[in-house]
Amino acid sequence: DIEPGLTETAYYVHPSADRPDDKKRMSIQLVFGYNFHAVVVEVDIETGQVKILRYVVVADCGRIINPMIVEGQVHGATAHGIASALYEGILYNEEGQCLTTTYTDFGAASAVDLPNIEVNHIETPSPFTVMGAKGVGEGGAIPSPAAIANAVEDALSPFGVKITELPITPEKILRLIKQSQKK
């Protein structure tokens, strides 16, 4: 009366999970890849257009096994983050009806919209993974929207503009400049 089949239960506890705080912080750096992004932008206050003048990434994905794939992952993820910051957005009307019904409406960036991305690498091999590798694919998409928002806010600091939502469209920039001048 027993049904045939297989079952398995397994748990994984990362080696850093049981360490005291100081060692945990150090071991997390040795497990997860990380990125540093620096951006210089120019904002046209007449049109609200943002132009990225320089974009620099320093990435650590542990030991680099295939440099061409790592470079592609950093560029692709960073391009995704740039698009999130400046172009991509879902719009709704007052009744909650989605107005963004196609990718044309979504505002995805193309290669023409993206700057040259300067990529530098730091190799901090992980003692916890095979060959010392860490993740690389997500790293560029996470810090890039914040880096761009901070650069735009810095460029608009004479107006006291604060960037609090994405995407940072030309319409939003013009509205924020106009609101700051009323104060």
Catalytic residue annotation = 138
Q: Are 166 and 101 in contact (CB under 8 A)?
A: no
| Length reported for the chain | 183
Region of residue 121 (left: phi > 0; alpha: psi -120 to 50; beta: else): beta
Rg (CA), the chain: 22
Q: Write b or e for each residue in 78-99: b if 16 or more Cβ atoms lie within 10 A of its Cβ, otherwise e.
A: bbbbbbbbbbbbeeeeeeeeee
| Complete DSSP assignment for 34-102 | EEEEEEEEEE-TTT--EEEEEEEEEEE-BS-S-HHHHHHHHHHHHHHHHHHHHT----B-TT--B---S
